[in-house]
Amino acid sequence: MTRVDATATTPAVPADLPRPRRRLPLNRSGAFGLILVAIVAIVAAFAPVFSPYGPTDTDLARSLRPPTADHWMGTDQLGRDLFTRILYGARVSLAIGVVTVGVSGAIGLIVGTLAGYLGGAADVVLMRVVDVWLSFPFILLALVVNAILGIGLQNIILTLIITGWVVYARLVRGEVLALKTQEYVEAARALGARESRIVLRHLLPNLWTPVIILSSLQVAQFIVAEAAISFLGFGVQPPMASWGNMLNEGRTYIYNAWWMTTFPGAALVVTALGVNLVGDWLRDTLDPRLTA
Amino acid sequence: MLQFLARRLLQAALVVFLALTAVFSLQFLAGDPVKLFLPTDTTTKQIEEFRERLGFNDPWVVQYVRFMRGALAGNFGNSLRQGEPALDLVLSRFPATLWLSGVAMALSLAIAIPVGVISAARRNSWFDHLGIGATVLGQAVPGFWLGLMLIYVFAVWLKILPTGGRGTWLHYIMPSITLAAFVAARFARLTRSMMLDVLGQDYIRTARAKGLAPPRVLYKHALKNASLPVVTLLALQLGQLLGGAVITETIFAWPGVGRFLVQALLNRDFPVVLVGVFLTAVLYSGLNLAADLTYAWLNPRIRYE
């Protein structure tokens, strides 16, 4: 990341100044989190390189084998290699985390900005929707929506988007309400700037930080939510590998195959821990108001 | 204050009403509710009978009004599986969930508050680092995995605890630990940061300068002032425990509302699902309101207009 020195540029109209890049000094736990996330991302991207097996290759003669040199994490009830399924499960988890956070973040950003900026009926409607959404524990809401929408990868993504955008909308609305009374926004308006310019040039740049911080915390929540819902028998269905449905299958064999419940859960913990640490680091670095 | 309370109660009622409407309409968005909630091997004749009996052949406005009128009277119809009133079925499972949530909440406070206080008092000591590490890990470990690991170690391997069900106090141990872990992590983090804030205040320095015993300063002067956000979080987290109960109860075969709701979702027992949604919305809104009120009560500087 290049750092632009604000003093080196010619001070022209304030709004045209290149935005000074914030430096992100890396602390120990942030670096550790980044490493964990990087490992998960690499094994997910290059899953076939790390394993000679396919995620759905069954071999009934080798079912429920404990970890060995051939099968590092053992095999499941159908003789599928657990390590391979965990690698492919990482793809599902990361894809869900990134896609759902991206889309729900975008929807929440648009709706929140409109509601906060325009006020009136749009705002009232949004806030009632927010109230309803927040009158349920997140996991329960997602579970009910998913059960009604139906199972499968697409529907779990849709579920998390439907249940996830509200948090963003509420955050963005609050920020916009505070920002739009700022003097520089009034100045822009006094200069005759169009509404679209005010929103895009003056409000949006100030919304990135809170949205990025929230996103970093939402990624882990969405990944764990998918696993929890798939664990309960909804969400992603076998034979597609998801850490949640692997845990669900492993639960049946907890008396004779400890590896089936241990490893997928450990993968989930490593991922959630990594993402959370990165999230904490981003929050502490980007938003000094929140550092405790 | 009374006006604030009245407005908030009205708002909560509106939320519950909208929540019911949302779930009620979702079943239509999702396709034919009859086919959705009946097993696939049902004959066409049975489907028609079922439609007629439950009034699914009426226009949806009529269905909606009928449903809402029933709901107002506490009548959500009978469970499609058990044939008994859905509300009674759900309510009969409530005590088990409340007991589990209560024990879990007590457990998490008993662990989290001392950890948070000591961590703050001995900032950057090994205890503090260990405490922070444990809370970060506690927030990253999903409850359902922790539950499975506990079952493996204590029920399968050591054979000292029952795998599930509800009977003796032994049955409470693993489910309440599972449910408490995440909540305890949040409480410990919050307590620590609030204590750090408070310990930097002038009145703490005064208390110390007066020569008061350190534990007295810590627990009497500091903790009391740091407890405000913790109390607020308590009400909010009780609501989260209800969500967590869905998973924990399923793992440990705990005969509570959460497990019943998951089964109703799997069985497509719609009246039971609606009751679950209704009760959760009522309880959760109530807890949110309670959080606001305790906050105002504990901190007289806050006045709600």
Taking CA atoms, B177 is separated from A59, A123, A190, A244, in Å, by: 38, 42, 59, 21
A234 and B265 in contact by Cβ < 8 A? yes
Q: Of residues A246 and B31, which shows the higher confidence score?
A: A246
Q: Residue A60 has what DSSP assignment? A: G
A145 contact residues in B (CB cutoff 8 A): 26
Q: Which two three-digit tokens encode residue A135?
A: 């009158």
Do A139 and B27 make contact, defined as CB atoms within 8 angstroms?
no
Q: Are A216 and A283 in contact (CB under 8 A)?
A: yes
Measured N-to-C along each axis, helices A204-231 and A138-149 cross at an angle, to the nearest 10 degrees, of 70
DSSP 8-state secondary structure symbol assigned to residue A258 = T
Contacts of B239 in chain A (CB under 8 A): 137
Quote the DSSP letter at residue A21. P
Give yes or no for a contact between A175 and A258, defined as CB atoms under 8 angstroms apart: no
CA of B67 to nearest chain A CA: how many angstroms apart? Answer: 18
Cα-flanking dihedrals φ and ψ of residue B153, to 5°? -70, -50
How do residues B252-302 score in pLDDT, each as one tens digit?
A: 999 999 999 999 888 878 788 888 888 888 888 888 888 777 777 777 666
Residues from A contacting B (CB-CB < 8 Å) are 29, 128, 131-132, 134-140, 143-145, 147-150, 220, 224, 227-228, 231-234, 247, 250-251, 254-255, 258, 261-262, 265, 268-269, 272-273, 276-277, 280, 292
- Compare CB distances from B196 to A143, A255, A292 and report the shortest one's residue: A292
Cβ distance B144 to A247 less than 8 Å, yes or no, reads: yes
Residues A117 and A266: beta-carbon distance below 8 Å: no
Contact residues on chain B for A148, CB-CB shorter than 8 A: 23, 26-27, 29-30, 36
pTM of the model: 0.86
Comparing CA positions, the residue from A87, A60, A55, A91 lying closest to residue A238 is A55
- Give the nearest chain A residue to B273 (CA atoms): A144
CB A86 within 8 A of CB A150: no
For residue A29, list chain B residues with Cβ-Cβ distance below 8 A.
Answer: 136
The pair of structure tokens assigned to A190 is: 């006094």
Nearest CA in chain B to A290: B193
Mean of all residue pLDDT scores within chain A: 87
- Predicted confidence at residue A108, as pLDDT, reads 94
CA distance B261 to B255: 11
**Confidence label for A171 from pLDDT (cuts 50, 70 and 90):** very high
Each residue of B219-264: pLDDT tens digit? 888 888 787 778 778 877 888 887 888 899 999 999 999 999 999 8
- Measured in angstroms, the CA of A200 and the nearest CA of chain B are apart by 33
B149 touches chain A (CB under 8 A): yes
pLDDT at A23: 66
Query: Closest partner residue to A265 among B148, B196, B277, by Cβ?
Result: B148
Closest CA to A233 of A138, A136, A150: A150
- Do residue A136 and residue B26 have CB atoms under 8 angstroms apart? no
Chain A contact set for B261 (CB, 8 A): 140
Residue B140 forms contact with A (CB below 8 Å): yes
CB contact under 8 A, B19 and A137: no
Question: Which of B14, B145, B272 should we substitute to test contact with A (largest number of A Cβ atoms within 10 Å)?
Answer: B145
Kindly state whether B141 is in contact with chain A, defined as any CB-CB distance less than 8 angstroms.
Answer: yes
Q: CA dihedral in degrees (A108, A100, A32, A53; nearest 10)?
A: -170
Cα separation, B135 vs B162, in Å, equals 27
Give the number of other CB atoms < 10 A from CB of residue B158.
9
pLDDT per residue rounded down to tens, chain B (305 residues): 788 888 888 888 888 888 888 878 776 665 565 665 566 677 777 777 777 777 777 787 888 888 888 888 888 888 877 888 999 999 999 999 999 999 999 999 999 999 999 999 898 899 999 998 999 888 889 989 999 999 999 999 999 999 888 888 999 999 999 999 988 998 998 899 888 888 888 888 888 888 888 888 888 888 887 877 787 788 778 888 878 888 999 999 999 999 999 998 888 787 888 888 888 888 888 888 887 777 777 776 665 54
Instruction: Return the top range by mean pLDDT from A18-27, A56-65, A114-123, A265-274.
Output: A265-274
To the nearest 10°, report the CA torsion of A261, A267, A270, A275: -120
Of the candidates A148, A228, A269, the beta carbon closest to that of B27 is on A148
Helices (H), A191-258: 195-197, 204-231, 243-252
B244 touches chain A (CB under 8 A): yes
Spatial neighbors of B277 by CB under 8 A, at least 6 apart, are A136, A144, B19, B20, B23
CB contact at 8 A, A153 and A95? no
Q: Where residue A3 falls among pLDDT bands split at 50, 70, 90?
A: very low
The answer to whether residues B94 and B261 touch, using CB atoms and an 8 Å cutoff, is no
Residue A93 has pLDDT above 90, yes or no: yes
Q: What is the pLDDT of residue A228?
A: 94
Q: What single-letter amino acid sits at B279?
A: L
Mean pLDDT across A97-120: 93
Q: Which residues of B touch A258 (CB under 8 A)?
A: 152, 156
Nearest to B145 among A135, A258, A268 (CB): A268
Query: B23–A144: do the CB atoms touch at under 8 Å?
Result: yes
Q: Comparing C-alpha atoms, which of B71, B72, B91, B89 is closest to residue B80? A: B89
